[in-house]
Amino acid sequence: MDYLKIEGIKSLNGTIKISGAKNASLPLIAMTILAKNSVHIKNLPSVVDINTLLKLLTNLGASCDFLDDRVVVDTSTITQTKATYDIVKTMRASILVLGPILARFGHCEVSLPGGCAIGQRPIDLHLKALEQMGAIINIKSGYIEASAPNGLKACNISFDKITVTGTANIVMAAALADGITTLTNAAREPEVVQLCEVLNANGVKIEGIGTAVLTIHGTNGKCIDIKEFSVIPDRIEAGTYLCAGAITRSELTLSNVQAKHLGAVLAKLEEMGSTFTLTDDTVTIHPSWDIKPVKIVTQEYPAFPTDMQAQFLALATQADGVSIIEERLFENRFMHVSELQRMGADITLNGNIATVNGKNQLSGTDVMATDLRASSALVLAALVANGTTNIHRIYHLDRGYDRLKEKLEMVGAKIQRLSE
């Protein structure tokens, strides 16, 4: 297995190009199941999770052609509708194929995704909504067996909790349903917005895009033609590199980024002392030498994103004072804490609240990545730690960060990718 070797206390300088959003790409790839034509997708990030979902589609019989500036997906050749455990166990977002396969073919088997490191992550809300739309759902030997022989029916659905992939799944199911579906308490993340915008631009009228109430006018079983589109920039990748600028007190520019998706993240970085220069598609961070402590509560978009919690926790170790970080979405999303403590961070955990008593001089050592965003928190800590840090199990990082080592190297980080 590979590991990252990072020399600490390095200032950075230059520009990092942000890749397409992993969490927009996944539902958009699943959406191709609704298309009767080949779909050209530009700006897909080169990360493991994207390749996993494309592999899942090819296992069903679809074709995926990787061209230099796009991937062309043709699902007209799908011959089977079972997403097997071997793939789903490596990426729980495979559940995103459930809605579109059921809508198009009337039957679908998807392995239960199971939990993951950060929490149980149930999918009860996905299944309940599909049943409301007329699907018959059984759980058998670890698989979801879903059928809707007469197609899915539009209805009024209200999610008991806001769920990002749940919203995407139901929007895609409703796209081919018979009638008009309303979805209340829908997720408003930019990644869900793009899915709705692409469907709306290609024959599935959707009202309320970007709000918590979506109205989807189904095509009554007719597949759609989807014109070429480009995936939006990854706001979490961007936020991660902004934290790299803040924690190393380096001026960094990010290109191919949409600042409007980063409102809560920029606001919290400003609270901690940074200032920014924004243009249409770039963000430059001007970090402060003295980092101020911060209070953070993770919530659904547009509030502060849970996917940035670990990165800000690492940054908070460099703040002069006490920071409080509360994780409200997942029950076990503080596994980076013990690794940061091994580097010298002074953090106390009380349930889902982390108290960081900054400022801590971190020291390089061997640490282990435990999940995607925890891995990026360890990279940030390593950049500002005394000495060398070796970050093991970086396959977690490869799931969601496109060429992280190369991007940091380009702006001056002393970082190597080696094999154990």
Nearer to ligand EPZ, 360 or 375 (CB): 375
User: Measured between alpha carbons, how far is residue 73 from residues 67, 230, 352, 392 in Å?
Assistant: 11, 14, 41, 34
Could you give the string, one character per residue 369-408, with x where binding to ligand EPZ holds by CB under 6 A and - elsewhere? ---xx--------------------------x--------
Question: Of 124-153, which residues contact ligand EPZ (CB under 6 A)?
Answer: 124-126
Contact track, ligand EPZ, 105-124, x by CB under 6 A: --------------x-xxxx
Nearer of residues 187 and 254 to ligand EPZ, judged by Cβ: 187
Burial grade of 93 (CB within 10 A; 0-12, 13-18, 19 or more) = buried
Least Å distance, CB 109 to ligand EPZ, is: 18
Shortest Å distance, C-beta 292 to ligand EPZ: 26
**Counting contacts by CB under 6 A, is residue 3 touching ligand EPZ?**
no
Q: How far apart are CA 353 and CA 244, in angstroms?
A: 23
190 counts as binding ligand EPZ under rule CB under 6 A: no
- Minimum distance, C-beta of residue 329 to ligand EPZ, in the bound complex (Å): 5
Active site residue 64: no
In total, the chain counts a number of residues equal to 420
Comparison of 109 and 327: residue with beta carbon closer to ligand EPZ: 327
Q: Which of 87, 93, 209, 385 binds ligand EPZ (CB under 6 A)?
A: 93
Quote the tokens at residue 177: 């349903």
Report 331-350 residues binding ligand EPZ (CB under 6 A): none
By C-beta, is 122 or 203 nearer to ligand EPZ?
122
Interface with ligand EPZ: number of residues (CB under 6 A): 22
Q: ∠ CA 396-52-34 to the nearest 5 degrees?
A: 135
Beta carbon of residue 24, minimum distance to ligand EPZ (angstroms, whole number): 8
Q: Nearest distance from residue 374's CB to ligand EPZ, in Å?
A: 9
The rounded distance, in Å, linking the Cα atoms of 7 and 342 is 17
Q: In terms of DSSP bridges, do strands 143-147 and 156-158 run parallel, antiparallel, or are they unpaired?
A: unpaired
Residues with Cβ within 8 Å of residue 286, at least 6 apart in sequence? 251, 274, 275, 276, 277
Binding part of the chain for ligand EPZ, among 158-166, 201-209, 248-256, 405-413 by CB under 6 A, reads 158-166
Q: Which of 64, 116, 155, 196 is catalytic?
A: 116
Return the exposure string of 112-143: e unless at least 16 CB atoms fall within 10 Å of the residue's CB, then b: bbeeeebeebebebbbebbebbbbebeeeeeb
DSSP element (H, E) containing 99 = helix 98-105
Contact 148, 134 (CB under 8 A): yes
Residue whose C-alpha is closest to residue 75's, from 96, 61, 59, 95 = 61
* Contact set for ligand EPZ, span 279-318 (CB under 6 A): 306-307
- Which one of residues 16, 18, 21, 23 is an interface residue with ligand EPZ (CB under 6 A)? 23
Q: Compare residues 16 and 123 and give the one whose CB is closer to ligand EPZ.
A: 123
Cα 273 to Cα 358: distance, rounded to the nearest angstrom: 15
Residues at the site binding ligand EPZ, with contacts judged by CB under 6 A? 23, 26, 93, 119, 121-126, 161, 163-166, 306-307, 329-330, 372-373, 400
Show which residues are catalytic: 116
